């Protein structure tokens, strides 16, 4: 798993130029089917608009990319929306920009600028998070070692995901990939090898930035 940036909450932005109104919406997506559903809803919501343009990027590697001009001159709508996404290094995001024509032609340069500005406003209004890869690690701890372990985890800012208090304490923690070997060694050292450590797997966790 690779780390990447995305949005955790949907957002919008409005830009007006020469009486034309550009309504941008940024939405978190996980698949192309989800993008298609949102695009259908957008067309229904703004059925009276002249253009519903969009761009989206999907995947940790950002390899799935698509943009659409919806009748605007080629390269003046979808591409500048895509540029706003790439500028912020985002993925798993769809940005739609709906245009209501104000009666004055903007020209290719004006359209390109307006679509890009509307998309940028939506990105600026979004909550951006970094998706980081963490190891989910299981610890089985004797009660006499619990306070030492909890102190160490607090000191290292390691998240305790769950704790079950049975005959021993069964604890799940989330450890950044690059810290896993150090954390494992530290826990073994502080417990003289008396804590059982198991790797459950990897998971992506949203980190506020």
* Chain segment 86-118, per-residue pLDDT in tens: 999 999 999 999 999 988 999 999 999 999 999
Kindly report whether the global pTM for this prediction surpasses the value 0.75. Answer: yes
Percent of the chain with pLDDT over 70: 100
CATH code of the domain covering residue 14: 3.30.230.30
Residues 161 and 75 reside in one and the same domain: no
What is the rounded CA–CA span in Å between residue 12 and residue 20? 17
pLDDT band at 20 (very low <50, low <70, confident <90, very high): very high
CATH code of the domain covering residue 139: 3.30.70.240
Residues 120 and 152 reside in one and the same domain: no
In the 8-state DSSP scheme, what is residue 167? Answer: S
Residue 1 pLDDT greater than 80, yes or no: no
Q: What is the pLDDT of residue 15?
A: 97
Tokens representing 136 are: 């989910």
Mean pLDDT, residues 129-138: 96
Mean pLDDT, residues 70-92: 97
Residues 120 and 38 reside in one and the same domain: yes
Query: Does residue 86 sit in helix, strand or coil?
Result: helix
In the 8-state DSSP scheme, what is residue 75? Answer: T
Contact 167, 93 (CB under 8 A): no
What is the rounded CA–CA span in Å between residue 133 and residue 139? 19
Q: What is the pLDDT of residue 182?
A: 96
Contact 177, 133 (CB under 8 A): yes
Residues 110 and 148 reside in one and the same domain: no
Rg (CA), the chain: 24
Query: Distance between terminal CA atoms of the chain?
Result: 19
Domain final position from 76, 101, 125? 125
Residues 117 and 22 reside in one and the same domain: yes
Q: Is residue 48 part of a domain?
A: yes
Q: Which residues pair with 171 in a beta bridge?
A: 139, 163
- Sequence-separated contacts (24+) of 144-153 with Cβ below 8 Å: 145/190, 145/191, 145/194, 145/195, 148/190, 148/191, 149/187, 149/190, 149/191, 149/195, 152/186, 152/187, 152/190
Mean pLDDT, residues 29-45: 97
Residues 142 and 189 reside in one and the same domain: yes
Residue 156 pLDDT greater than 90, yes or no: yes
Q: What is the pLDDT of residue 167?
A: 96
Q: What is the pLDDT of residue 63?
A: 94
Residues 100 and 21 reside in one and the same domain: yes
CA-nearest of 54, 58, 71, 68 to 118 is 54
pLDDT band at 175 (very low <50, low <70, confident <90, very high): very high
- Mean pLDDT, the chain, rounded, equals 96
Mean pLDDT, residues 122-142: 96
Q: What is the pLDDT of residue 2?
A: 81
Q: What is the pLDDT of residue 199?
A: 94
pLDDT band at 128 (very low <50, low <70, confident <90, very high): very high
CA distances from 52 to 39, 69, 100 (A): 8, 8, 9
Residues 14 and 115 reside in one and the same domain: yes
Domain final position from 105, 125, 145? 125
Contact 77, 70 (CB under 8 A): yes
Percent of the chain with pLDDT over 90: 95
Q: What is the pLDDT of residue 209?
A: 84
Residues 54 and 150 reside in one and the same domain: no
Domain range for 111: 7-125
DSSP annotation string for 129-148: EEEEEEEEEEEEE-HHHHHH
What is the rounded CA–CA span in Å between residue 184 and residue 164? 20
Mean pLDDT, residues 149-171: 96
Residues 25 and 108 reside in one and the same domain: yes
Residues 16 and 68 reside in one and the same domain: yes
Domain final position from 125, 141, 165? 125
């Amino acid at each position: 798993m690779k780390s990447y940036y995305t949005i955790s909450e949907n957002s919008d932005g409005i830009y007006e130029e020469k009486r034309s109104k550009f309504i941008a919406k940024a939405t978190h997506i996980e698949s192309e089917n989800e993008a298609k559903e949102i695009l259908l809803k957008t067309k229904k919501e703004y059925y009276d608009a002249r253009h519903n343009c969009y761009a989206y990027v999907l995947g940790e590697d950002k390899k799935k990319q698509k943009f659409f001009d919806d009748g605007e001159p080629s390269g003046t709508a979808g591409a500048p929306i895509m540029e706003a996404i790439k500028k912020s290094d985002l993925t798993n995001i769809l940005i739609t920009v709906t245009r209501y024509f104000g009666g004055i032609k903007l020209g290719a340069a004006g359209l390109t600028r307006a679509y890009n500005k509307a998309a940028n406003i939506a990105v600026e209004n979004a909550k951006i998070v970094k998706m980081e890869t963490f190891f989910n690690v299981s610890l089985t701890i004797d009660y006499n070692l619990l306070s030492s372990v909890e102190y160490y985890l607090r000191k290292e800012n390691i998240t305790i995901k769950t704790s079950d208090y049975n005959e021993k304490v069964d604890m799940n923690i989330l450890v950044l990939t690059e810290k896993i070997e150090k954390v494992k060694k530290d826990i073994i050292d502080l417990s003289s090898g008396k804590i059982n450590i198991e790797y459950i797997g990897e998971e992506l966790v949203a980190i506020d930035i």
